[in-house]
């Protein structure tokens, strides 16, 4: 897969691509055949694959489920290579006629969503499910359609489908609540929304999928609040209590029917009484036979307070009370009152008063009266006003008493039993809740801990740093990146990798000790915090920081291996460098970046300049991308003259970039950046093609091009160069390629093959900057080469330093012996040129002849070059 092919042609498009690479979403594009055509860096990181592994391959198996199960949201588990642990991904696959697009997100990056996803199958959930509890959870920080989580048992209760397809629960919960329970449900929701309740327990009826209602006991707890105190996270359990409710209802029904039975008897009695108020004896007989006590009394209003006289009480009436029928004192109203249970007295008097005052015609009340044996008898009394005076006040009241003690006893027994069941149920519930809480705590611990090292993970790290920020503590954050972790993993296996992680974790923890804390932030990245207070002076901070450095750079022993891992560390401090977590980490990251760019040892503290440097670098990269795309980089040419002919033999191609804002950017600098952004091959081809096109005007003059160390070790380079030559119809034997020593140091074998391939098609190959650092000589033994370009440092002093001349001479001797041609670089004066020729160089190059010039001036130079070479005309300079 060629990264460059996908590069858009405008700055905006380029920025979009960078955003895609840096953003949280991994994107994989595949053709209709399922071949990956492009993916961003994030996707590689999430899948734990390298670009090489993805190149030209099919969509990885881990993503097939996404494709097969069509568009939707899925959890998949992939092996994240540097970690060798599985991570939870959220995936989405969109297919169209053009192919498929996969979107992947690290579930942990969704923040509090972790409980929602990774812990969904977690212990607490299972524990509750197996106890027949439906579990639910609301996370209001998430998009509306994914806020609610409902366990399988929760669905089963309601007759809803179970499985991955049943993501949504149809309709609103409140719409399913029974109309009679709705008002209470709404009130509960309101209280919760207002933050008035943190915990609730609620019995209500809910409509199931098939339309029937179940009784639900819902218990919930708010587990997360936003700064305004409004809930953002609520969890709870539902239990189906329909069976319990039905049993309760059954008991109530039994009581009610007993009661109704009595009532209907009473009704009958009453009707009888009304039919024949004067034939009381018949009536008495009738109801007396049914086991009811019958009574009647008259009320006389002529006295200051109305006086009552019992005119009749049946035998049953006395029997109920355990009294003998001759106990006439019981006929006295006050005596009767004195026998009523004190707790019921008020109620009984209220009832009788309402009747005596004429307010109601009938009363019915239950109360306790003392039995002759001392215990209490429950009586259901029912009175009806039978005669009235002119004012509508009753003058005679007739009634019956029923002994309902047995009904009451049964009622009490059942209430007691129901209470017991309820208490038992409550105990089970409380235990389940306790277990759930424990499991939840464990899940939360797991969600905040890195399993491999036992250190806090990124999430907990953030929480801890946020805590320090809230307390306004002064502290420094360290980002620690292990340097050669990937090699250890690749060379010695993952067990060795894990060993390194664990030991680095232990050492870091020791180094930081009680001055702060350590966390594993991901792959081979650790984070540490040192809190500076009175205890930690600037000097001690430096000391602690260097303890961190040395703790991770000591070699680690593993069996008989000595693993040299080492680390780069970037640090930033609160409050001097940043005010919030994100900026603190960004700054520490910048510092880390500068360490990795090899600019400042192993540890760097953030400085404001770093931000500016990085920004400039990013700008330069962006602009260079466009310049290469649009072929704004121009070849300039510097002649190489032959000593014998004193005429130009070759022109060295030197790339030039004129930046619209910064002017001319030195080639060393932009070549390195082009290499870094992977665009050097494109630049090389463009500059070579332009040069070949110009060279048509300068027949018989050869060209000499430079290739970077990396290109010199890339087996594709010879083919690329040949393709360009072919396009321009430029003969390979007129081209020289200059390879720097660095390529040979980098990978001698690879460079040897590239050199051989170039030479095999007639291209001449030189080693550039030869003698710079005196290290190149050895390589002449190692590979077959056509010539060497001797570095300016070995040439410039030959006129005034005998030793330098001797050294150059010995270089030439050696080159000649190996059959290599020689070019002396950096010829700045006629003297040096003459001395160099005298010593025996084949060619010369330098400001004495000409500085690098644009193509437009080469023609003029070629005309006067013989004069220049002989010294008759001083150096060629541009008008
Ligand atoms: P180099 O290959 O050693 O190129 C020669 C450099 O020496 C050029 O610098 C040239 O301007 C400078 N130079 C030539 N004569 C004299 C002299 O008499 N005195 C002094 N002091 N300097 C002299 P330039 O153009 O700045 O290029 C720097 C380096 O950038 C080149 O070093 C080469 O390694 C690299 N470079 C330039 N163009 C390309 C390119 O298209 N591709 C690659 N891969 N590298 C390039
Ligand atoms: Ca060169
Ligand atoms: Ca050179």
**Cα–Cα distances in Å, from 676 out to 135, 609, 618, 634?**
52, 22, 11, 20
pLDDT band at 100 (very low <50, low <70, confident <90, very high): confident
Please give the Cα distance from 818 to 826 (Å, whole number): 23
Cβ neighbours for 815, distance < 8 A, ≥ 6 positions apart: 780, 787, 788, 821, 822
Q: Could you tell me if 840 and 821 are in contact, meaning their C-beta atoms sit under 8 angstroms apart?
A: no
Cβ–ligand 1 contact at 655 (below 6 Å):
yes
Nearest ligand to the CA atom of 640: 1
Q: 């970039």: which residue's tokens?
A: 657
Q: Which residues pair with 841 in a beta bridge?
A: none
C-alpha closest to that of 376 among 333, 420, 406 = 406
Cα–ligand 2 centroid distance for 20 (angstroms):
38
C-alpha closest to that of 191 among 231, 236, 226 = 231
pLDDT band at 19 (very low <50, low <70, confident <90, very high): low
List the residue whose alpha carbon is closest to atom 37 of ligand 1.
654
Nearest ligand to the CA atom of 844: 1
List the residue whose alpha carbon is closest to atom 46 of ligand 1.
706
Percent of the chain with pLDDT over 90: 31
Cβ–ligand 1 contact at 771 (below 6 Å):
no
Cβ–ligand 1 contact at 847 (below 6 Å):
yes
Cα–ligand 1 centroid distance for 457 (angstroms):
49
Please give the Cα distance from 321 to 319 (Å, whole number): 5
Q: Which residues pair with 476 in a beta bridge?
A: 530, 573
Cα–ligand 2 centroid distance for 730 (angstroms):
20
Please give the Cα distance from 444 to 438 (Å, whole number): 10
pLDDT band at 55 (very low <50, low <70, confident <90, very high): confident
pLDDT at 232 over 70: yes
List the residue whose alpha carbon is closest to atom 22 of ligand 1.
826
pLDDT band at 57 (very low <50, low <70, confident <90, very high): confident
Most confident option among 533-537, 556-560, 571-575? 571-575
Q: 């270089």: which residue's tokens?
A: 811
Cα–ligand 3 centroid distance for 846 (angstroms):
10
List the residue whose alpha carbon is closest to atom 6 of ligand 1.
654
C-alpha closest to that of 650 among 712, 711, 695 = 695
pLDDT at 552 over 70: yes
Please give the Cα distance from 541 to 783 (Å, whole number): 52
pLDDT band at 738 (very low <50, low <70, confident <90, very high): very high
Task: Determine the atom of ligand 1 nearest the C-alpha atom of 848.
Answer: 18
Over residues 830-858, the mean pLDDT reads 94
Q: Could you tell me if 82 and 524 are in contact, meaning their C-beta atoms sit under 8 angstroms apart?
A: yes
Cβ–ligand 1 contact at 352 (below 6 Å):
no
- Range with the poorest average pLDDT among 457-461, 865-869, 870-874: 870-874
Cβ–ligand 1 contact at 741 (below 6 Å):
no
pLDDT at 519 over 60: yes
User: Hey, which of 628, 632, 654, 848 would you mutate to test ligand 1's pocket, going by the most ligand atoms within 8 Å of its Cβ?
Assistant: 654
Please give the Cα distance from 733 to 761 (Å, whole number): 8
**Cα–Cα distances in Å, from 817 out to 765, 813, 872?**
17, 6, 34
Please give the Cα distance from 99 to 8 (Å, whole number): 20
Over residues 570-597, the mean pLDDT reads 89
Residue burial 78-102, b: 16+ Cβ < 10 Å; e: rest: bebbbbbeebbbbbebeeeeebbeb
- Range with the poorest average pLDDT among 60-74, 687-701, 827-841: 60-74
Most confident option among 27-36, 97-106, 432-441, 677-686? 677-686
Report how far apart the first and last C-alpha atoms of the chain are (Å, whole number).
Answer: 48
The crossing angle, in degrees rounded to 10, of helices 748-760 and 717-728 is 30
pLDDT score of 640 = 95
Cβ–ligand 1 contact at 40 (below 6 Å):
no
- Range with the poorest average pLDDT among 176-185, 227-236, 675-684, 735-744: 227-236
Cβ–ligand 1 contact at 772 (below 6 Å):
no
- Concatenated DSSP letters of 321-333: TT--TT-GGGGSH
Give me the half-sphere count of Cα atoms (radius 13 Å) on the Cβ side of residue 588.
26
Percent of the chain with pLDDT over 70: 80
Assigned token pair, 414: 């059942």
Nearest ligand to the CA atom of 790: 3
Mean pLDDT over the full length of the chain: 80
Cβ–ligand 1 contact at 819 (below 6 Å):
no
Cα–ligand 1 centroid distance for 733 (angstroms):
22
- Concatenated DSSP letters of 421-488: HHHHHHHHHHHHHHHHHHHHHHHHHHHTB-TTT-SB-HHHHHHHHHHHHHTT-EEEEEEEEESSHHHH
Q: Which residues pair with 222 in a beta bridge?
A: 234
pLDDT band at 514 (very low <50, low <70, confident <90, very high): confident
Cα–ligand 1 centroid distance for 640 (angstroms):
13
CA 601 to chain centre: 33
Encode pLDDT of 159-176 as tens digits.
887 765 444 455 678 889
pLDDT band at 225 (very low <50, low <70, confident <90, very high): confident
Extended beta strands in 52-116, E state: 74-80, 85-96, 99-106
Other CB atoms closer than 10 Å to residue 329's CB: what's the count?
A: 10
List the residue whose alpha carbon is closest to atom 41 of ligand 1.
655
pLDDT at 83 over 50: no
pLDDT score of 227 = 77
Cα–ligand 1 centroid distance for 867 (angstroms):
24
pLDDT band at 741 (very low <50, low <70, confident <90, very high): confident
Assigned token pair, 450: 């890195």
3-class secondary structure, 204: strand
Handedness of CA 593, 597, 599, 603 (dihedral sign): positive
pLDDT band at 262 (very low <50, low <70, confident <90, very high): low
User: Which of residues 825 and 35 earns the better pLDDT score?
Assistant: 825
C-alpha closest to that of 330 among 433, 401, 392, 420 = 401
pLDDT score of 299 = 86
Q: 């010539």: which residue's tokens?
A: 787
Torsion, Cα of 748, 752, 754, 756 (10° steps)? 170
C-alpha closest to that of 221 among 72, 434, 426, 65 = 434
**Cα–Cα distances in Å, from 349 out to 300, 356, 376, 625?**
18, 10, 18, 100
pLDDT score of 485 = 84
DSSP H stretches of helix in 630-716: 667-676, 680-695, 709-712
Handedness of CA 703, 704, 705, 707 (dihedral sign): positive
Q: 């018989």: which residue's tokens?
A: 700
Task: Determine the atom of ligand 1 nearest the C-alpha atom of 791.
Answer: 3
Please give the Cα distance from 60 to 480 (Å, whole number): 31
Cβ–ligand 1 contact at 238 (below 6 Å):
no
Over residues 521-530, the mean pLDDT reads 91
C-alpha closest to that of 88 among 98, 79, 77 = 77
Cα–ligand 1 centroid distance for 668 (angstroms):
8
User: Hey, which of 684, 686, 705, 706 would you mutate to test ligand 1's pocket, going by the most ligand atoms within 8 Å of its Cβ?
Assistant: 706
Task: Determine the atom of ligand 1 nearest the C-alpha atom of 789.
Answer: 3
Q: Which residues pair with 548 in a beta bridge?
A: none
Please give the Cα distance from 777 to 780 (Å, whole number): 6
Please give the Cα distance from 670 to 10 (Å, whole number): 19
Cβ–ligand 1 contact at 707 (below 6 Å):
yes
Cβ–ligand 1 contact at 654 (below 6 Å):
yes
Residue burial 661-690, b: 16+ Cβ < 10 Å; e: rest: eeeebebeebbebbbebebbbbbbbbbbbb
pLDDT score of 626 = 95
Q: Could you tell me if 282 and 332 are in contact, meaning their C-beta atoms sit under 8 angstroms apart?
A: no
Cβ–ligand 1 contact at 778 (below 6 Å):
no
Over residues 673-683, the mean pLDDT reads 92
Over residues 360-376, the mean pLDDT reads 89
pLDDT score of 377 = 92
Cβ–ligand 1 contact at 767 (below 6 Å):
no
Q: 């703790």: which residue's tokens?
A: 551
Cα–ligand 1 centroid distance for 825 (angstroms):
10
Nearest ligand to the CA atom of 689: 1
Most confident option among 60-64, 253-257, 478-482? 478-482
CA 604 to chain centre: 28
pLDDT score of 873 = 61
List the residue whose alpha carbon is closest to atom 4 of ligand 1.
654
pLDDT at 30 over 60: yes
Assigned token pair, 682: 């494109």
pLDDT at 711 over 70: yes
Cβ–ligand 1 contact at 737 (below 6 Å):
no
Assigned token pair, 241: 């209590």
Encode pLDDT of 320-329 as tens digits.
888 887 777 7
User: Hey, which of 667, 668, 797, 823 would you mutate to test ligand 1's pocket, going by the most ligand atoms within 8 Å of its Cβ?
Assistant: 667
pLDDT band at 87 (very low <50, low <70, confident <90, very high): low
Cβ–ligand 1 contact at 151 (below 6 Å):
no
Task: Determine the atom of ligand 1 nearest the C-alpha atom of 711.
Answer: 44
627 phi and psi angles, rounded to 5 deg: -60, -40
User: Which of residues 20 and 497 earns the better pLDDT score?
Assistant: 497
- Residues within 5 Å of ion ligand 3 by Cβ? 768-769, 825
pLDDT score of 520 = 94
- Range with the poorest average pLDDT among 111-125, 431-445, 599-613, 819-833: 111-125
Encode pLDDT of 187-219 as tens digits.
988 888 887 877 777 889 999 888 899 988 887
pLDDT score of 95 = 64
Cα–ligand 3 centroid distance for 704 (angstroms):
11
pLDDT band at 93 (very low <50, low <70, confident <90, very high): low
Cα–ligand 2 centroid distance for 762 (angstroms):
19
Cβ–ligand 1 contact at 769 (below 6 Å):
yes
Cα–ligand 3 centroid distance for 632 (angstroms):
24
Rg (CA), the chain: 48
Nearest ligand to the CA atom of 770: 3
Most confident option among 157-161, 541-545, 749-753? 749-753
Residue burial 427-455, b: 16+ Cβ < 10 Å; e: rest: eebeebbeebeebbeebbebbbbbebbeb
Encode pLDDT of 408-426 as tens digits.
887 788 778 777 776 777 7
pLDDT at 252 over 70: no
Cα–ligand 1 centroid distance for 754 (angstroms):
22
Cβ–ligand 1 contact at 687 (below 6 Å):
yes
Over residues 738-755, the mean pLDDT reads 88
pLDDT score of 116 = 40
Handedness of CA 42, 43, 46, 52 (dihedral sign): negative
Assigned token pair, 123: 């212990």
Encode pLDDT of 274-319 as tens digits.
554 444 444 444 444 456 788 888 888 888 877 888 877 888 888 8
Cβ–ligand 1 contact at 709 (below 6 Å):
no
pLDDT score of 838 = 95
Please give the Cα distance from 358 to 393 (Å, whole number): 5
Any long-range contacts for 349-358 (C-beta under 8 Å, 24+ apart)?
A: 352/383, 355/383, 355/385, 355/394, 355/397, 356/299, 356/306, 356/393, 356/394, 356/397, 357/393, 358/385, 358/388, 358/391, 358/392, 358/393, 358/394
Please give the Cα distance from 630 to 682 (Å, whole number): 11
pLDDT at 823 over 80: yes
pLDDT band at 767 (very low <50, low <70, confident <90, very high): very high
C-alpha closest to that of 763 among 709, 804, 722, 712 = 722
Cβ neighbours for 224, distance < 8 A, ≥ 6 positions apart: 112, 139, 231, 232, 233, 234
Cβ–ligand 1 contact at 854 (below 6 Å):
no
Please give the Cα distance from 814 to 777 (Å, whole number): 9
């Amino acid at each position: 897969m060629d990264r460059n092919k996908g590069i858009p042609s405008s700055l905006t498009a380029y920025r979009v691509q960078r955003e895609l690479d840096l953003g949280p979403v991994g994107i994989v594009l595949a053709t209709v055949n399922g071949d990956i055509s492009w993916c961003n860096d994030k996707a590689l990181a999430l899948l734990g694959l390298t670009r090489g592994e993805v190149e030209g391959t099919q969509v990885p198996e881990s993503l097939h489920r996404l494709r097969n199960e069509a568009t939707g949201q899925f959890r998949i588990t992939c092996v994240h290579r540097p970690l060798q642990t599985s991570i939870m991904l959220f995936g989405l696959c969109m297919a169209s006629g053009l192919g498929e697009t996969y979107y992947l997100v690290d579930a942990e990056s969704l923040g509090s969503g972790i409980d929602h996803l990774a812990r969904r199958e977690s212990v607490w959930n299972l524990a509750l499910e197996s106890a027949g509890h439906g579990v639910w959870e609301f996370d209001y920080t998430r998009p509306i359609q994914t806020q609610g989580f409902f366990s399988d048992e929760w669905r089963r209760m309601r007759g809803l489908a179970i499985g991955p397809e049943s993501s949504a629960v149809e309709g609103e919960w409140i719409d399913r609540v029974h109309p009679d329970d709705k008002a209470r449900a709404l009130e509960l929701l309101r209280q919760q929304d207002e933050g008035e309740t943190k915990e609730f327990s609620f019995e209500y009826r809910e409509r199931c999928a098939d339309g029937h209602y179940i009784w639900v006991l819902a218990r919930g707890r708010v587990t997360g609040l936003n700064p305004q105190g409004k809930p953002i996270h609520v969890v709870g359990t539902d239990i189906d209590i329909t069976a319990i409710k039905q049993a309760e209802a059954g008991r109530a029904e039994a009581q009610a029917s007993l009661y109704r039975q009595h009532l209907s008897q009473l009704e009958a009695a009453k009707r009888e009484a009304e039919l024949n108020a004067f034939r009381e004896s018949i009536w008495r007989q009738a109801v007396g036979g049914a086991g009811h006590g019958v009574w009647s009394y008259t009320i006389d209003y002529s006295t200051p307070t109305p006086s009552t006289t019992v005119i009749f009480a049946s035998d049953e009436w006395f029997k109920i009370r355990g009294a003998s029928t001759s106990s006439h004192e019981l006929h006295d109203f006050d005596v009767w009152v004195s026998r009523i249970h004190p707790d019921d007295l008020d109620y009984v008097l209220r009832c009788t008063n309402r009747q005596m005052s004429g307010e109601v015609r009938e009363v019915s009340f239950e109360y306790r009266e003392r039995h002759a044996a001392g215990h209490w008898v429950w009586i259901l009394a029912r009175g009806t006003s039978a005669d009235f005076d002119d004012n509508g006040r009753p003058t005679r009241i007739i009634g019956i008493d029923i002994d309902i003690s047995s009904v009451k006893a049964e009622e009490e027994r059942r209430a007691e039993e129901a209470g017991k069941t309820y208490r038992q149920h409550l105990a089970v519930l409380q235990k389940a809740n306790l277990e759930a809480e424990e499991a939840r705590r464990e899940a939360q611990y797991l969600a905040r801990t890195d399993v491999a090292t036992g250190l806090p993970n990124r999430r907990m790290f953030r929480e801890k740093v946020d805590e320090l920020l809230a307390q306004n503590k002064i502290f420094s954050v360290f980002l620690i990146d292990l340097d050669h972790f990937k090699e250890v993993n690749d060379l010695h296996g993952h067990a060795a990798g894990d060993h390194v992680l664990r030991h680095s974790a232990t050492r870091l923890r020791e180094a930081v000790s009680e001055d702060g804390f350590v966390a594993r932030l991901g792959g081979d990245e650790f984070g540490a915090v040192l809190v500076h207070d009175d205890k930690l002076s600037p000097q001690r901070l430096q000391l602690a920081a260097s303890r961190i450095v040395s703790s991770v750079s000591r070699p680690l022993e593993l069996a008989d291996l000595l693993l040299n891992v080492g680390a780069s560390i970037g640090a930033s401090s609160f409050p001097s460098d940043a005010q919030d977590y994100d900026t603190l980490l960004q700054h520490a990251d910048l510092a880390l970046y500068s360490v990795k760019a090899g600019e400042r040892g192993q540890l760097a503290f953030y400085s404001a300049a770093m931000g500016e440097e990085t920004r400039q670098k990013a700008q330069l990269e962006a602009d260079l991308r466009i310049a290469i795309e649009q072929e704004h980089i121009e070849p300039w040419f510097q002649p190489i003259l032959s000593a014998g002919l004193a005429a130009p033999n070759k022109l060295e191609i030197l790339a030039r970039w004129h930046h619209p804002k910064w002017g001319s950017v030195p080639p060393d600098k932009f070549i390195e950046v082009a290499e870094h952004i992977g665009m050097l091959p494109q630049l090389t081809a463009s500059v070579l093609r332009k040069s070949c096109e110009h060279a048509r005007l300068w027949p018989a003059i050869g060209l000499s091009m430079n290739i970077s160390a990396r290109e010199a070790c890339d087996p594709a380079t010879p083919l690329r160069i040949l393709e360009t030559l072919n396009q321009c119809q430029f003969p390979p034997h007129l081209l020289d390629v200059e390879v720097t020593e660095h390529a040979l140091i980098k990978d001698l074998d690879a460079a040897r093959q590239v050199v051989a391939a170039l030479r095999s098609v007639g291209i001449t190959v030189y080693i550039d900057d030869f003698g710079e650092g005196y290290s190149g000589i050895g390589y002449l033994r190692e590979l077959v080469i056509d010539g060497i370009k001797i570095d300016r440092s070995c040439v410039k002093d030959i006129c005034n330093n005998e030793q330098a001349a001797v050294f150059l001479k010995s270089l030439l001797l050696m080159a000649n012996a190996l059959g290599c041609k020689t070019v002396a670089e950096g010829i700045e004066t006629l003297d040096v040129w003459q001395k160099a020729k005298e010593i025996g160089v084949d060619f010369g190059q330098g400001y004495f002849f000409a500085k690098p010039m644009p193509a437009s001036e080469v023609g003029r130079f070629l005309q006067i070059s013989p004069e220049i070479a002989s010294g008759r005309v001083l150096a060629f300079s541009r008008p």
